[in-house]
Amino acid sequence: MALTFNQLIFILQGTLWTIALAAIGFVGGGIIGLVIALMRVSRNRWVNGAAALYVQIVQGIPLPVLMFLAYFGLSLGGVNIPAVVAAGVSMTIFAAAFLGEIWRGSIQAVPRGQREAAESLGLSRWHTMADVILPQAVRLSIPPTVGFMVQIVKNTSYAVVIGFTELTQSGKIVNNVIFEPFLVFTIVGAIYFCLCSPLSRASRTLDARMRARGA
């Protein structure tokens, strides 16, 4: 059987959900990830340790397990929550751990002298961080952050385990009807490639440009 127009539309709808889920993961993960990164550079042992523990645990658990935990955990009160909420929450938890580590690296990559200079100018710790360290760290963090967005887009595919109809799941559903696996999954793969490849290339270009500038 051949792929019909409606089935193609169905796959494209799945694509939109993939993009939406990736966006949720990036924004949510970005907000919590920033908190994690700041906690990780804190001089307070407990604050630092708590963030380190969070990262260790989340990076040691596969994303499909996080999906199930969010799915079952959020419906413990007895209400069934939609799969998209569970998927969004677990993408957020997942992305926060990795973005937190990436951004901690960027903050720590800002030369020591910058912090020392700010301190000797009498800037408060808050101003040192917000006006001196972070603006430079943000610049350093852009290439790896864009690179990690590729991981976010690809990892939304793990939402199939809780039955969320994103791109991969919609491909699977269509394939169950027409049984043309090579055709269907080539199309699905090509769509992912179109989403991810520009991000990969942007990340590499930005990285090369930054290196060339000697930063």
- DSSP per-residue letters across 83-140: HHHHHHHHHHHHHHHHHHHHHHHHHHHS-HHHHHHHHHTT--HHHIIIIIIHHHHHHH
Residue 182 contacts other proteins per CB under 8 A: yes
CB of 153 to other proteins, least distance (A): 8
174 lies in the binding site for other proteins (CB under 8 A):
no
Task: Tell which positions 134-173 bind other proteins, by CB under 8 A.
Answer: 150, 154-155, 157-158, 160-161, 168, 171-172
Q: Which is nearer to other proteins, 62 or 82 (CB)?
A: 62
Amino acid at 19: I
User: Least distance to other proteins from the beta carbon of 61, Å?
Assistant: 5
Give me the least distance between CB of 36 and other proteins, in Å please.
18
- Amino acid type, 159: A
* Residue 188 binds other proteins, judged by CB under 8 A: yes
Query: Measured from the CB of residue 72, what is the shortest distance to other proteins in angstroms?
Result: 4
Stretch that binds other proteins, among 9-17, 28-36, 47-55, 192-200 (CB under 8 A): 192-200
Does residue 10 touch other proteins according to CB under 8 A? no
Of 17, 1, 7, 34, nearest in space to 195 by CA: 17
Which residues in this chain contact other proteins in the complex, by CB under 8 A?
57, 60-66, 68-69, 71-73, 76-77, 150, 154-155, 157-158, 160-161, 168, 171-172, 175, 179-182, 185-186, 188-189, 192-193, 196-197, 200
